[in-house]
Amino acid sequence: MDPLRTSDPARIAGHRLLGRLGEGGMGVVYLARSAGGALIALKVVRGEYADDTGFRARFRREVAVARRVTGPWTVRLVDAAPDAEEPWLATEFVPGPSLAEAVVRHGPFPVRGLRVLGARLAEALHGLHEAGLVHRDLKPGNVLLAPDGPRLIDFGIARAPDDTSLTADGVVVGTPGYLPPEQAGGPAGVAAGPAGDVFSLGCVLVYAATGRPPFGTGPVDALLYRAVHDAPDTAGVPGELAHVLERCLEKDPARRPAARDLAHGLAGDAGRAPAGGPDADASPFGQVDESSAPWLPEPVVRLIAQRSAAALDLPDVDDTESCGTSEPAPGPERSPAGTAEGDSTGRPDRSRADLPPASGRRRFLAATGGAVLLAAGGATALWAANRDGSAPPEARPGKPRPTIALHGDLSGPDKETGRAQERGLRLAVEQFNARPGRPLTLAVRAEDDGGDPAAARRIAERLAGDPAVLAVVGPTTDATAEAALAAYDTALLPVVAVSPGANTHSLQGYRSFCHARVTDTVLAFYLNVYLRGAAASRRVGIVQDRAADHHGWEIGSTLSKLLHEDGHPQVPKVVSALRRDFRPPVDTLLAAGADSVVFAGRYERAALAAKVLHDRRFTGARAAAQAILDTRFLTAAGDAAEGWLAVAPVADPTALTAGAAFTAAYERRFGGPPPRYAAEAYDATGLVLAGIGGLKTSRPTRRGLLAAVRGTPYQGVVKKLAFKKDTGELVIGADNGVFLWRVERGDFRCRGPAPVTVPT
């Protein structure tokens, strides 16, 4: 939890604010204590959004939905003022992890835990459906875990089944990978009914049982297609539950069980809730299990206990009241000068009276129940007791210095890229530490995952658990990023990545992830411009290699779509991951008249295709994305590599006017010219360092640093880095950091920025 700022009120409608839990583009979430002493999460919408009549109407609807949700396994709305000058709502709060976090950190659930989880979530859905609503976004991140049972959260897009206001324009609402077929692939305006929630619950339970979603991961288009057409992957689901979940995942909504029937079916002896669950005696779905066996895995129980212990340090209700509360007001209480109520400086009152004896805090904790806080954007759960607010205590003797970490492949297949990024980071930090008047001195820590996703996950957990680590640059590859980002996000540890390209990293909605390069999907745009412009291609052949998974899909399918929209002739060819002989697909393209070829895949198989084209004496344009920008492509392809072009989000700083100072500093420090990705890592680190400098404190927090990094544009050596405040998405401008590289005389040479328009 971050401290309140001078601009924050001390109270809102009688609720005493204790600190900041999160901040997004649309508002702020505070941890507060109600007048009755309960801990609550209070979401306040920014004034500029409140002035939007459409947004205010949606906020009123969210409050109205929350008032109708009253079941024991859903969050309870405590208070709300949708018509206030700055609208706000308050919900119950518990310091528990989400299901997504629990599975990422501690693995799949046992059978008993799956039964309790499924039965109680089905009961929550039944209550929602009885109230005439559907949730429409049930996913692991929207399930909180508490010792007495799960809680279903986030009703921001819950609607009546016949309400199609969100889908009238054809936009898919919800989270791909957990959407039912009728929501993922139906025509615009088709209502999502209660059966869709049951399908999503089946997906959630498969995830809890196996650690992976039933329709895999990948680009959004692929996830939506699989939900509509493919059978779910339930391998690893315990046999006694597999049949139940397969019924939930039927493509036909009419064949799925109702939520009430599902709750009854799962609430056997193993599925009954633990003693003491909310309203357990009144539950129609099963009697309370008198056994003491926990329903949660032991590591998850320990995690909840740790976070509950952190809550003991919060101010007690008696001390809150002793600060002089006034009568409840309809909005924030402020001093006549407009600053927060408090001392003569205008700061909120945070006197020593806010530190009660431990016994009083424990009395309060025992009295509080409830579940959740909703993030400022309305779709993300944030937890108060994460270690993300810890300030590295640089001033204390014996404590480690605040640190910027490099997480990369320093010894595995992509060690050239990882080591280049490490050097770029070290140079930036050394220059920062040499500045007079800096707010603090930083340490550098380099962690090597060797390109192994399992090692990447362990490293992420280790870095996230070290309060001295303020930010991370990396990881190096898509696979290691996919394994690591959830752990970083759990701790709200800022992560800036410059080499992974999969669009899915951004689509997962990680709060702490800054994708400091255009995605592979965007690179297809530059390939399209190059082929139709500089290459003057009349018919483009596309080899989409399934062995490249995300990369192949995003490059190949996006390029094909762009060419189709432009009415440009193309010959697309999808190649099996098992194929090693590229002569048949290449011959198919050439026979169809392709005068240019794009390989949507990685360097090793691109080399195989390059050799076939060389043998066929093909002289047309041959292109790919950054996956072939690798010395291993040159080695594997030999003479056949000559003339190939790569569109890549990486520059040669020695060829940039803005890169002269960086190049000189790099050569002085490391004795040679900077390799690819050194400048990008230098810029990413510079972005973080600018955020630290802007905070002007020797004890910055991760949360404060993340807000600074996302909130302030930074001009780097290669490009300008700026992110959208509400989504964290990279803002793409004319200075986009995408360059053309061509193989000339056996090596890649940078040919300048990639063009963005086709000459007329």
pLDDT of residue 726: 64
Residue with tokens 């505070």: 30
Domain boundaries, the chain: 11-60+80-90+312-385, 99-297, 403-518+657-729, 520-648+740-753
Q: Which of 528, 556, 536, 517 is nearest to 757 (CA)?
A: 528
CATH architecture of 520-648+740-753: 3-Layer(aba) Sandwich (3.40)
> How far apart are alpha carbons 311 and 365 in whole angstroms?
7
pLDDT of residue 363: 34
The radius of gyration of the chain from alpha carbons, rounded to an integer in Å, stands at: 27
pLDDT of residue 399: 64
Structure tokens at 536: 């003057």
Q: Amino acid identity, residue 97?
A: P
Structure tokens at 251: 């493509």
pLDDT of residue 311: 64
Residues of the chain with pLDDT under 50: 158, 162-172, 187-189, 269-292, 317-397
pLDDT of residue 443: 97
Q: Residue 348 to residues 237, 336, 509: CA-CA distances in angstroms?
A: 52, 14, 33
Structure tokens at 730: 């990279």
> How far apart are alpha carbons 295 and 201 in whole angstroms?
18
pLDDT of residue 397: 45
pLDDT of residue 337: 31
- Evaluate whether 467 touches 387 at the Cβ level (below 8 Å): yes
Q: Residue 552 to residues 62, 541, 548, 599: CA-CA distances in angstroms?
A: 40, 14, 5, 8
Q: Amino acid identity, residue 196?
A: G
User: How do residues 482-506 score in pLDDT, each as one tens digit?
Assistant: 899 989 988 899 999 999 998 878 7
Enter the DSSP assignment of 107.
Answer: -
> How far apart are alpha carbons 432 and 618 in whole angstroms?
51
* HSE-up (13 A, CA, CB side) for residue 176: 20
> b or e along 618-643 (b: 16 or more beta carbons within 10 Å of the residue's beta carbon)?
bebbbbbbbbbbbeebbebbeebbbb
- Evaluate whether 646 touches 626 at the Cβ level (below 8 Å): yes
* HSE-up (13 A, CA, CB side) for residue 435: 14
In CATH terms, the fold of domain 403-518+657-729 is Rossmann fold (3.40.50)
Helical (H) or strand (E) element with 708: helix 702-711
Helical (H) or strand (E) element with 559: helix 550-565
How many CB atoms are closer than 10 A to CB 357?
11
Q: Amino acid identity, residue 620?
A: G
Helical (H) or strand (E) element with 431: helix 415-433
214 CA to centre of own chain: 19
Could you give the strand order of the β-sheet that contains 27-33, starting from the edge strand earlier in sequence?
77-81, 88-92, 39-45, 27-33, 15-23, 11-12, 332-333
User: How do residues 509-532 score in pLDDT, each as one tens digit?
Assistant: 788 999 999 999 999 999 999 999
How many CB atoms are closer than 10 A to CB 760?
4
- Evaluate whether 460 touches 420 at the Cβ level (below 8 Å): no
- The length of the chain, given as a count of residues: 760
Structure tokens at 166: 């969100």
Angle value at C-alpha 112, between 110 and 117, nearest 5 degrees: 95
Structure tokens at 633: 């492509």
pLDDT of residue 456: 96
Strand partners, 469: 403
pLDDT of residue 268: 60
- Evaluate whether 373 touches 43 at the Cβ level (below 8 Å): yes
DSSP letters for 2-26? BPPPTTS-SEETTEEEEEEEEE-SS
Which one from 8, 137, 316, 489 is the annotated catalytic residue?
137
Strand partners, 342: 348
- Residue 443 phi, psi (nearest 5): -105, 160
The 3-class secondary structure across 366-416, one letter per residue, is HHCCCCCCECCCCCCECCCCCHHHCCCCCCCCCCCCCEEEEEECCCCCCHH
pLDDT of residue 160: 52
pLDDT of residue 378: 31
* HSE-up (13 A, CA, CB side) for residue 441: 6
> Is 388 in the active site?
no
- 492: phi > 0 → left, psi -120 to 50 → alpha, else beta; which? left
Structure tokens at 250: 């039927």
Residue with tokens 């949660």: 296
Q: Which of 726, 722, 702, 724 is nearest to 714 (CA)?
A: 722
- 750: phi > 0 → left, psi -120 to 50 → alpha, else beta; which? beta
Mean of pLDDT over the chain: 81
Q: Which of 508, 494, 501, 499 is nearest to 475 (CA)?
A: 499
- Evaluate whether 522 touches 515 at the Cβ level (below 8 Å): no
Query: Is residue 351 classed as helix, strand or coil in its secondary structure?
Result: coil
> In the CATH hierarchy, which top-level class contains the domain 99-297?
mainly alpha
- Evaluate whether 556 touches 572 at the Cβ level (below 8 Å): yes
Q: How far apart are the first and last CA of the chain?
A: 55
> b or e along 27-40 (b: 16 or more beta carbons within 10 Å of the residue's beta carbon)?
bbbbbbbbbebbbb
DSSP letters for 294-344? -SS-HHHHHHHHHHHHHHTTSPPHHHHHHTT--S--SSEEB-TTSSBSBST
Q: Are strands 739-744 and 540-545 parallel, antiparallel or unpaired?
A: unpaired
Strand partners, 404: 444, 471
Helical (H) or strand (E) element with 684: helix 678-695
Structure tokens at 192: 């999502």
- Evaluate whether 711 touches 693 at the Cβ level (below 8 Å): no
- Evaluate whether 38 touches 32 at the Cβ level (below 8 Å): no
> How far apart are alpha carbons 153 and 301 in whole angstroms?
20
Strand partners, 623: 598, 645
How many CB atoms are closer than 10 A to CB 25?
15
Q: 572 burial class (0-12, 13-18, 19+ CB within 10 angstroms)?
A: buried
pLDDT of residue 353: 30
Q: Peptide bond before 475: cis, by omega within 30 degrees of 0?
A: yes
Whether 403-518+657-729 shares its CATH topology with 520-648+740-753 is answered yes
